[in-house]
Amino acid sequence: MTDIRPAFIDGKPKQLLIGGRFVDPVAGERFASTSPSTGEHVADIALAGEEDVDRAVAAARAALDGPWSRFTPAERQAVLLRLADLVDAEFDDLALLDCIEMGRPITASRGLRSMVLRVIRHIAGQATAIHGETLGNSFPGTELMSFTLREPIGVVGAIIPWNGPLFSAAWKIAPALAAGCTVVLKPAEDASLSPLRFGQLCLEAGVPEGVVNIVTGMGATGAALASHPGIDKISFTGSCETGQKIIAMSAGTVKRVTMELGGKSPNIIFADADLDLAVPASAIGVFNNSGQVCAAGTRLFVERPVYDEVVARIAAFAGALKVGPSLDPETQVGPLVSAKQYARVASFLDEGPREGARLVTGGARLTEGALANGHFVAPTVFADVGDDMRIAREEIFGPVASIMPFDGFDEAVDRANATRFGLAGGVWTRDITKALAAVKRIKAGTVWVNHYFAMDPAVPFGGYKMSGFGREGGFEHVENYLNTKAVWVRTS
Ligand code: ADP
């Protein structure tokens, strides 16, 4: 396939990481991981069944009461900082795993180094900042002191998507470790390798065996985790439909759940915006990672006086993007992750014009030359999109922008909010009063003003409405992995 294979792609079948060791799945089943750029075989991956999930949960449960329970906060912090150093040292190879397996272009994959390291190091800092509160009470008759203890929630089942495998593994595992939890992580079937290697690096960093377990497999593996009585909390990132199933499955044992689900985020460009800033950032807000980003700003509302200009400039930007295999350093837009995703996105490309949208650029599958065996589509811009069209309502998860004109502030925010989702939104204007008024009105967990896509581990991220609940990033991130225990002490 390529002579720059990372050492982790060694031709051997990939096993499950359970109890500190790589082991074969009990039933011996495997599935093939293939390159979305070329269709070539990348690795055979272990398919974890229910028995394997049982074993992983048992290992995590045992580890919760083992040496890990005696790690001080400073020791957990030290382990996380060592992990960050190991990830840093190996980052080029980790980036290659995601590049080869899920198709994020190599330049973009390598560009995530700073973010991934900041996540682990920021969360390492939080390990020593966990604290309860002393609370005054009015209990009559007896003097009692009341305070809270923060305790690890227990065994965490983390289920992650394929669109940022390494980042997602760090985003789930690091806060669980900071809190003193143990983890069974289920990577997405289209991107198992970097999470597996990340799990191995946790061991190398000094995380005791059984604290981090990785069970690869399909949706059924995730379902076994979500319904497992030995799991205390599920942290899920993925589609809304799967999130709904997981919420239902978790009800059996009343698991704690946090959900980061999909989006159909609005991005509003007012006529007074600095278009030299707004146009490229808004285009990247759609086409980054081939549009496979939950917070992508795919509903682009543009105020009528600048509508034609913005449509033309976004289309020119899209048309100039270099689409190619993910290993090519020149590639800006790589393939879609899988045949399933390719078929889904292509069906929206066909449907847009049928619904009456105006195709301005793109709109096609790309099958020539080096793209022949991959899942490539052209970055696509639809203009004059109606709010009721499926391309404006459904999360496409592909490089497809829907642009719509609006007249006036109220119309813009009302239409921006007319969605079941509420993950993110953008506002472009030189008028600070208008910007802040829009911020207040937009029902979403993140709103960017004169920017799109800024993220930082110190800043919370998560959804309103059907985009989910719970926040990752910020102080709430580690909080999600803690229980609060109230303590009452007679003082007289
Ligand atoms: P997509 O449709 O884009 O693959 P999903 O939300 O289905 O997105 O996938 C996100 C993660 O959820 C993946 O790890 C996937 O294997 C897992 N998953 C899929 N179906 C289920 C399910 N029924 N229960 C638990 N996890 C699931």
Kindly state the tokens that stand for 190. Answer: 């289209």
* pLDDT per residue rounded down to tens, the chain (492 residues): 445 789 999 999 999 999 999 999 999 999 999 999 999 999 999 999 999 999 999 999 999 999 999 999 999 999 999 999 999 999 999 999 999 999 999 999 999 999 999 999 999 999 999 999 999 999 999 999 999 999 999 999 999 999 999 999 999 999 999 999 999 999 999 999 999 999 999 999 999 999 999 999 999 999 999 999 999 999 999 999 999 999 999 999 999 999 999 999 999 999 999 999 999 999 999 999 999 999 999 999 999 999 999 999 999 999 999 999 999 999 999 999 999 999 999 999 999 999 999 999 999 999 999 999 999 999 999 999 999 999 999 999 999 999 999 999 999 999 999 999 999 999 999 999 999 999 999 999 999 999 999 999 999 999 999 999 999 999 999 999 999 999 999 999
Q: Which of 90, 260, 303, 395 is catalytic?
A: 260
CATH (one of 3.30.1490.390, 3.40.309.10, 3.40.1190.20, 3.30.420.40) for 266-456: 3.40.309.10
Q: Are 483 and 152 in contact (CB under 8 A)?
A: yes
Q: Are 406 and 302 in contact (CB under 8 A)?
A: yes
In terms of Cβ atoms closer than 10 Å to its own Cβ (0-12, 13-18, 19+), residue 251 is exposed
What residue type is 240 in one-letter code? C
Q: Where in the chain is the domain with CATH 3.40.605.10?
A: 16-261+467-486
Q: Are 21 and 52 in contact (CB under 8 A)?
A: no
Q: Which of 99, 181, 240, 294 is catalytic?
A: 294
234, 240, 242, 396, best to mutate for ligand 1 pocket (most atoms within 8 Å of CB)? 242
Nearest atom (ligand 1) to Cα of 341 = 3
pTM, two decimals, is 0.98
Return the ∠ at Cα 79 (arms to 74 and 85), rounded to 5°: 125
Q: What is the DSSP letter of 144?
A: E
We find that the CATH architecture of domain 16-261+467-486 is: 3-Layer(aba) Sandwich (3.40)
Give the closest residue to 29 by CA, choosing from 216, 190, 193.
216
Q: Cα separation of 4 and 92, whole Å?
A: 11
Tell me the pairing of strands 468-469 and 365-366: unpaired
Q: Cα separation of 341 and 393, whole Å?
A: 17
Q: How far lies 352's CA from each of 52, 173, 404, in Å?
A: 44, 39, 13
Tell me the pairing of strands 358-361 and 380-383: antiparallel
50, 53, 159, best to mutate for ligand 1 pocket (most atoms within 8 Å of CB)? 159
CB contact set of 175 (below 8 Å; sequence gap of 6+):
123, 126, 472, 477, 478, 480, 481
181 is catalytic: no
Directed axis angle between helix 91-102 and helix 193-204, to 10°?
160
Q: Where in the chain is the domain with CATH 3.40.309.10?
A: 266-456
